[in-house]
Amino acid sequence: MNTGENSMSLLKLENVGYRYDSGNKILNGLDYTFEKGKMYAVTGKSGAGKTTLLSLISGLASPTEGSILFEGKDIKTIDRYHYRSRYVGVVFQQFNLLPHLNAVENVTLSMRASGKKFPDRQKRAMDMLSKVDLDENIVRRRILKLSGGEQQRVAIARALSYDPSIILADEPTGNLDLNTQKDIVDIFKRMAKDEGKCVIIVTHSPEVAKESDEIYELAPFSGKAAALG
Amino acid sequence: MFVIQNALKSIARSKGRNILIGIIVLAIAISSCVALAIKNAAAESEAAGLSAVKISGSIAVDRQKLLEAVSSSAGTDEDGSMDMGSMQEIMAQYPDLALDELLGYADSDFVEDFHYSETVSLSGTDDFVAYGAEEAAEAATGDEGNMRTGGFGGGQFGGEPVPIFGNNGMSMGDFSITGYSSESAMTEFVSGAAKITEGELFDMDSSDLSCLISEELAAINGLAIGDSFSLSNPSNEDEIYTFAVTGIYAGGDTGETGGGPQFSTAQDPANLICISYPAAASIVSNSESVGTSVTDIQGYERSSALSGQLAATFVFDNKADYDSFAEELGERGLSDYYTLSSSDISSYEASLVPLENLSGFATTLLLIVLAIGAVILIVVNIFNIRERKYEVGVLTAIGIKKGKVAMQFVTELLCVTLIAVILGAGIGAAISVPISNQLLASQIEQMQTQSQEQNQNFGRPGDFSQDEGPVQSGNGSFPGTIMLNAARTDAGYIDQINATVSPAILGELIGIGLLLTLLSSLAAVVFVLRYEPLKILANRT
Ligand SMILES: Nc1ncnc2c1ncn2[C@@H]1O[C@H](COP(=O)(O)OP(=O)(O)OP(=O)(O)O)[C@@H](O)[C@H]1O
Ligand SMILES: [Mg+2]
């Protein structure tokens, strides 16, 4: 089967389905592959299960059907904390930053959690933050005192900071003006093209989707779709 | 490293919460520290008190035990009352041990010294009168009621000596003549309570009737060194013994033992005449050989011969030897009805009572403080962790393992606790000595009030307890060296303790801190381990 270096995809979803404990089934029969060096867009209506899909890929939840393979291994069988802290960078829809820390501290915390060695952690964190257009004054402020767009950019800087091979972003441009949105998309694109990352972006924006190499349209699960009409 | 760094940063960030926890732990630490210091000091005083101190003890029939044995055996009548005949019979089977038996036991390796004395009671003659004899006569004639006390001791009636009988039907004279086996047997002189002021000690090994008399006796009888005087058998006026005065002593037991009324002039320490043991033994054996049969005032026939009262004392290097000897006595076949006892030990134990009470109080305090402290800390921690739910979610979502997050929370608590415990130990060390002594003082006061009330209930003056205390003076020589760690009140209670905070206590405190931390952070740990990051983050609004 797929044994060669080229043919083995970084991430592979095999017939993935997900049903919440409460019983409603959100995802069904997904067969997606994600390669290094490419940017993917995941689109779909609100409530289609995009965030749920990212939770499965990042190992925060386990698929109730099928399996997700990372470098050929089912992520059920690997240490998912280790996997998340080193190989996956997530920009959460709700950011999930620590409100009492400032931007730099939030970034360096993730860098330390990854267990990877960086020659100058502070400097790298600052570089990442200035890449997303946050100045010195903002990055020393507690997260609580930042605007939604600023928080979103801190979350992006955090996801990139520890050099993960997969970058997951849940509507990373939702709170940004068009110019900043374009800058951010450029950053993600360069991550894929120049650094060989696998970038997966959930978005409602056609402009963002247009920039990606491939688009996965997440159709609402049929049972639910029928109900919706 | 990661965990510790995060913990320290987190502590610095949430000062209010940590100061609150710190104050709670500080209060627990201070009270635990004082309680531990008290317990420790009490235990030390108890252990050190007798371990390195000479103890004297004696063997006596345990009447209590014998009585119990008699009443539980067939010795009771059908109506349940004691059969006096069988009682006396059994008592007779267990007489006081004779000197050669005692000497046999004294061979033991555990016995450091053995000394004994024999006391006989003799009456005065025309040329030699007892100190205080007139007062006694006046009391006897002046108060009819006093006559009834005659059964206990001697006195003079109408100027003529009247034989009065002691416990065993023996007649009592006005003087106690005590023969000592060695200088160490003369405890009053050893302790310094009595002192030879003129002349010298008689020859301990000689059976010559050479003696020491008190200054008082010498004065009222006009005797000087080298003079002699005569005493007679109270039951036989013709049996005369003549003593030569080799020395005069001052002091001695000043008669305040017990403070009770005196029944006989022979009990007045001024009327104690000291001779050697061989001399006393020769008086007794001579008296036996010349003894005749007489009828006492109660109409019983008995011998007029003097009988001596033997008092034998074993001296031990320490409490351990004392205990070993007590065990050995049983092994060597001494009946259970004889027991080794020591006033040194019983008075020391009595002196420890307030300290033991205090120690018990300290234990209770410790347990209550720990229980309440643990509950408060657990509650505070549960509230904390609920507040920090989101933090747990974020930390685990970025890939920090739940165990590490839990460890971080425990470390935070541990740092705060340790600082508070060390601070508490410092404060506790500073205040434990005054506080424990204050507590001890109130404990003693309480006990004295109690015994005072008891005395009043028995119609005795209330302030009696002050001199009496729990320590029956007995031989009076409580070794002063016992108070290594403690001092005592006049009443004999230990009223000062050295409740210091030793490294051992510090260790115990840190142990308590660790235990409290682990216990109270258990809630945090359970919480962190139970929740999935996704759920925590999803529940956030
Ligand atoms: N914990 C949960 N328990 C039960 N149902 C849930 C839970 N979380 C989400 N859902 C449901 O699952 C469906 C998919 O949710 P999800 O957050 O993945 O949607 P989404 O595609 O990201 O939507 P949006 O574009 O609005 O972010 C929704 O209908 C939502 O109500
Ligand atoms: Mg979503």
In terms of phi and psi (left: phi > 0; alpha: psi -120 to 50; beta: otherwise), the region of A208 is: alpha
Q: Is A196 in the pocket of ligand 1 (CB under 6 A)?
A: no
**pLDDT surpassing 70 at residue B151:** no
- In chain B, % of residues over pLDDT 90: 18
Residues B337-366, mean pLDDT to the nearest whole number: 84
Output the pLDDT for position A212: 94
Output the pLDDT for position B70: 72
Output the pLDDT for position B497: 67
Residues B156-165: contacts with CB within 8 Å, 24+ apart?
B161/B123, B161/B124, B161/B234, B162/B297, B163/B234, B163/B235, B163/B296, B163/B297, B164/B264, B164/B297, B165/B296, B165/B297, B165/B298
Output the pLDDT for position B470: 40
How far away, in angstroms, is A203 Cα from ligand 2 center?
9
List of chain B residues whose C-beta atoms are within 8 Å of the C-beta of residue A96: 393-394, 397-398, 537
Cα–Cα distance for residue pair B71/B492, rounded to 1 Å = 36
Domain boundaries, chain B: 2-51+353-540, 63-95, 115-256+267-313
Output the pLDDT for position B467: 40
Model confidence at B273, pLDDT cuts 50, 70, 90, reads: very high
CA distance A180 to chain B (A): 25
pLDDT single digits (tens) B1-23 = 788 888 988 888 888 889 999 99
Q: Is B8 on the interface with A (CB under 8 A)?
A: no
Burial grade of B28 (CB within 10 A; 0-12, 13-18, 19 or more):
buried
**pLDDT surpassing 60 at residue B326:** yes
pLDDT single digits (tens) B204-262 = 899 899 999 999 899 989 899 999 999 998 888 888 999 999 999 988 765 444 444 55
For atom 6 of ligand 1, the residue with the nearest CA is A20
DSSP B146: G
Nearest ligand 1 atom to alpha carbon A224: 29
**Residue pair A168/A56 in contact by the 8 Å Cβ criterion:** no
Model confidence at B485, pLDDT cuts 50, 70, 90, reads: very low
Output the pLDDT for position B461: 59
Model confidence at B492, pLDDT cuts 50, 70, 90, reads: low
Most trustworthy range by pLDDT among A219-223, B365-369, B486-490: B365-369
Output the pLDDT for position A9: 86
pLDDT single digits (tens) A160-214 = 999 999 999 999 988 888 888 898 899 999 999 999 999 999 999 888 999 999 9
CA distance B352 to chain A (A): 58
The CA radius of gyration of chain B, in Å to the nearest whole number, is 35
Output the pLDDT for position B296: 66
Model confidence at B333, pLDDT cuts 50, 70, 90, reads: confident
Nearest ligand (C-alpha, residue A48): 1
If you average pLDDT over every residue of chain B, what do you get? 78
Most trustworthy range by pLDDT among B124-128, B196-200, B251-255, B472-476: B196-200
Q: Is A49 in the pocket of ligand 1 (CB under 6 A)?
A: yes
Output the pLDDT for position B279: 93
User: Quick check: helix, strand or coil at residue B177?
Assistant: strand
pLDDT single digits (tens) A27-71 = 999 999 999 999 999 999 998 999 999 999 999 999 999 999 999
Residue among A70, A81, A91, A104 with most chain B CBs within 10 A, to mutate = A81
Output the pLDDT for position B79: 53
List of chain B residues whose C-beta atoms are within 8 Å of the C-beta of residue A97: 394
Instruction: Say which residue, B460 or B59, is predicted with more confidence.
Output: B59
For atom 10 of ligand 1, the residue with the nearest CA is A20
Strand partners, A11: A34, A70
Model confidence at B41, pLDDT cuts 50, 70, 90, reads: confident
- Which has the minimum average pLDDT: A1-15, B71-85, B154-168? B154-168
pLDDT single digits (tens) B420-454 = 998 998 898 888 888 877 877 877 777 777 767 66
Most trustworthy range by pLDDT among A121-125, B16-20, B62-66: A121-125
What value of ipTM does the predicted structure carry?
Answer: 0.91
How far away, in angstroms, is B193 Cα from ligand 2 center?
99
**Residue pair B41/B499 in contact by the 8 Å Cβ criterion:** yes
Cα–Cα distance for residue pair A155/A161, rounded to 1 Å = 10
- Which token pair is B107? 């061979």
CATH architecture under which domain A35-60+80-228 falls? 3-Layer(aba) Sandwich (3.40)
